[in-house]
Structure 1
Amino acid sequence: MARNQAGEQKGSPGKKCVETKMEDMIGELPDDVLLHILSFLPMYQVVRASTLSRRWRHLWTQVPVLDFGTHEFHFTQSGIESLINCCLMLHNAPKIKQFRARIDHVHILHHNLDAWLRFASQHDVEELDMDYITGNRLGILIRYPMPGCLFHCGALRALRLRGCELKLPASFCLGSLRTLELYQVNVMSDLNASGCPLLESLTLYECNSTSPLSIYSPNQKLEKLKIHDMRGVIFSSIGLIIDAPYLLSIEISGFMRDFYSIKNSSSVALDFTPMFETYYGYFEGRMVLKLLEGLRHVKTLKLCQWCIQVCRHQNFR
């Protein structure tokens, strides 16, 4: 027993020596490699890294990924505001690859959010992820109106919004945008994607659950549309109008809307995954019939198994 303890004591200096060498090896890495490593960490950990050595003290201000969306411990309202404001004030990288923020405090001022997004826009952000998940005491979701600076981010390639209010201006340009994902977003006007010529994928999750929605996209790149509806859409006489001539695939899941209208499409594949996949009632039959009647102009139409079963149960011809 004494020998083992002695061995452990003798081994301790060696272990510390190895750890010191490892720290020295990491410290000798080029700045771009260290910044790449830091880009995988949430910002509060990136800031902590500044205490490791003099070299790290200012290195973190060059990190290209600003992730304020991962909270391993609870931040107060003032805490998250102070963290983000301080990081953005000291940050001096010319461009931002990713900017992510998760806001779950209802009292955070909108002018602070506007300033953060304006900062990201001015630094040619490529990927923007904004989660605004706040509600009042009655549990009603409060949405954040996206500022106008968002619609002129020429470098933006991917945009993900949650719990926001989106009102597209009459004229805007997101010339590099390829992926748009909207979760629990209220689209205040028609979703006109003509200002996104490179848009390839569009996802709508619980958007406009109590109001109609129209999607217009003349873009040749947009081929895939995903829609998921919940929270009682089935009980409202609201529909979805899709005008996207080059759209090839439409995936619809969750509760079904009262009607779907697909315009100016020559070839499309429809894939429905309803909340109750084995139920083929009157509502579903009427919805599918309306949809098929509006697709007489389509040259190529692919239907999922659920649509075929609905047609069979309703004896459609």
Structure 2
Amino acid sequence: MDWISSLPDDIIYHILSFHSTKEAALTSVLSKRWRNLFALLPNLRFEEKDFDYRDSDFGIPWSFIDFLERVLAVSGNSPLKKFSLKYRQNVVDSALINPWIRNVLSRGVLDLLHIDIITKSEFSLPLEVFSCKTLVKLKLGIGFVIAMVPENASLPALKTLFLDCVRFYDHQHGCSFEALVSACHVLEEISIVGEHWEHWKWCRTVTSPTLQRLTIDCEVSNDSIRSDFRSITFDTPSLVYLKYSGFVSDKHPFVNLDALFEVKLTLALRKIPHNGNPTNLIKGLRNVEIMDLSSHETLKILYSFREAIPVFENLSRLSIATKLGSCWKLVPLLLKRSPNLETLVIKGPLHYKGRGQGIESVCQCLSGYYFFYCRVL
């Protein structure tokens, strides 16, 4: 007896939601009732890892695009909660993508719109994206360009914005990145990841009264060394978590990180035209309770600007990354300026030479500190 088919639709949808859309589509061969049931799922996920370019599971060959468009057509106007499209195996004509996105938006996507696809040329989002009243999470992957955000843009439900190699532009009508963030009235998290973000023609200003988590995690390359880094402003009074990985900017003209609880820094120096100046950023970290300095070069940079290091009254946990044979000049300074420090985590080789009774510090920077050799089996 096929007792599963006798279950209510809502329960069947829930069972199928644990599978990819392609896997759920395979159930269409079970019976007439199942034929189009998969297309009415509230969560639709199309990913290249789940689908071969030519797939014959349906008895006839289907391409990825054919399958996607068939599902959207069969599902009609049924409401959507999540829609995810990730396809980097082949280049897709950008003219195909906007109709897909409009279809999803017209069905009131509630939770997630995730588009990550390689197009033949730079691709601009349809304007309907910037006025979606239901969208909570927006994730955009490589290939997208946001050149302009409409003046009436409003994303009143958007809480999470994830950008992977997405480009923005700053022009006479204003900065498209700043305009997008301003349109998000309850925004809580921004993630900017990918290489060469510094090539954006943007205002380099992150301004949001509601933002709580910010990640700027970008690849450091030789091409990046020749880029114009100018300045980055953080006007984020509610921010509690900051992860910043990349080159040091020329300056930070305004930094408001008063609520910051945790910070992870991985900084790198540029050789030309100059090394940058993180003074205001360093001062803005004064209230943190957890700090992770994730590279030895970060320690060197902070030591070069040691006069800007504040007293960390709230710092209770400090993690530092070390490098074999390199000096720890910053460590004693941080310890002195962290009066309430409870935990020190050292990630990397310890700073001593010798064994047994002959242990001593490598340089005078740790004079007065004691070292104990231990062997981890």
Same-fold status (TM-score > 0.5): yes
Q: Is the 8 A contact 2:48 2:88 kept in 1?
A: no
**Mean alpha-carbon deviation: is it higher for 42-51 or for 267-276?**
267-276
Residue 155, structure 1, aligned to residue 139, structure 2: no
TM-score, normalisation: structure 2: 0.65
Alpha-carbon distance between aligned partners in 1 of 2:131 and 2:265, rounded to the nearest angstrom: 35
Counterpart in the other structure of 2:335? none
Alpha-carbon distance between aligned partners in 2 of 1:262 and 1:202, rounded to the nearest angstrom: 21
Q: Is the 8 A contact 1:38 1:60 kept in 2?
A: yes
Counterpart in the other structure of 1:12? none
Q: Is the 8 A contact 2:83 2:113 kept in 1?
A: yes
Q: Is the 8 A contact 2:279 2:305 kept in 1?
A: no
Q: Cα 1:32–1:53, aligned 2, differ >3 Å: closer, same or farther?
A: same
Q: Is the 8 A contact 2:39 2:74 kept in 1?
A: yes
Q: Which amino acid aligns with 1:222?
A: L
Q: Paired residues, what number?
A: 283
Q: Is the 8 A contact 1:280 1:309 kept in 2?
A: no
Counterpart in the other structure of 1:79? 63
Counterpart in the other structure of 2:108? 124
Name the SS for the 2:24 alignment partner: helix
Residue 259, structure 1, aligned to residue 212, structure 2: no
TM-score, normalisation: structure 1: 0.76
State how 1:45-194 maps to structure 2 within 5 Å: 45-75=23-53, 79-92=63-76, 94-104=78-88, 107-126=91-110, 127-133=112-118, 142-163=121-142, 164-167=144-147, 168-189=149-170, 190=175, 191-192=177-178, 193-194=181-182
Alpha-carbon distance between aligned partners in 2 of 1:282 and 1:195, rounded to the nearest angstrom: 36
Counterpart in the other structure of 1:139? none
Counterpart in the other structure of 2:369? none
Counterpart in the other structure of 2:227? 236
Q: Cα 1:153–1:80, aligned 2, differ >3 Å: closer, same or farther?
A: same
CA RMSD across the alignment: 3.3
Indicate which of 203, 209, 219 corresponds to 2:198: 209
Q: Which amino acid aligns with 2:135?
A: L
Q: Alpha-carbon deviations, 1:167-220, whole Å to 9, x = none?
A: 323330111101100001111243121111111000000263323543556543
Alpha-carbon distance between aligned partners in 2 of 1:222 and 1:248, rounded to the nearest angstrom: 8
Q: Alpha-carbon deviations, 1:41-60, whole Å to 9, x = none?
A: 22222222111112212322
Q: Is the 8 A contact 1:47 1:60 kept in 2?
A: yes
Residue 43, structure 1, aligned to residue 43, structure 2: no
Counterpart in the other structure of 2:346? none
- Give the percent of matched residue pairs that are identical in Structure 1 and Structure 2: 21
Alpha-carbon distance between aligned partners in 1 of 2:46 and 2:248, rounded to the nearest angstrom: 35
Alpha-carbon distance between aligned partners in 2 of 1:228 and 1:288, rounded to the nearest angstrom: 17
Q: Which amino acid aligns with 2:186?
A: L
Q: Which amino acid aligns with 1:84?
A: L
Residue 291, structure 1, aligned to residue 284, structure 2: no
Alpha-carbon distance between aligned partners in 2 of 1:65 and 1:111, rounded to the nearest angstrom: 24
Q: Cα 1:208–1:89, aligned 2, differ >3 Å: closer, same or farther?
A: same
Counterpart in the other structure of 1:248? 240
Alpha-carbon distance between aligned partners in 2 of 1:62 and 1:280, rounded to the nearest angstrom: 52
Q: How many angstroms does 1:275 deviate by? A: 6.6
Name the SS for the 1:181 alignment partner: strand
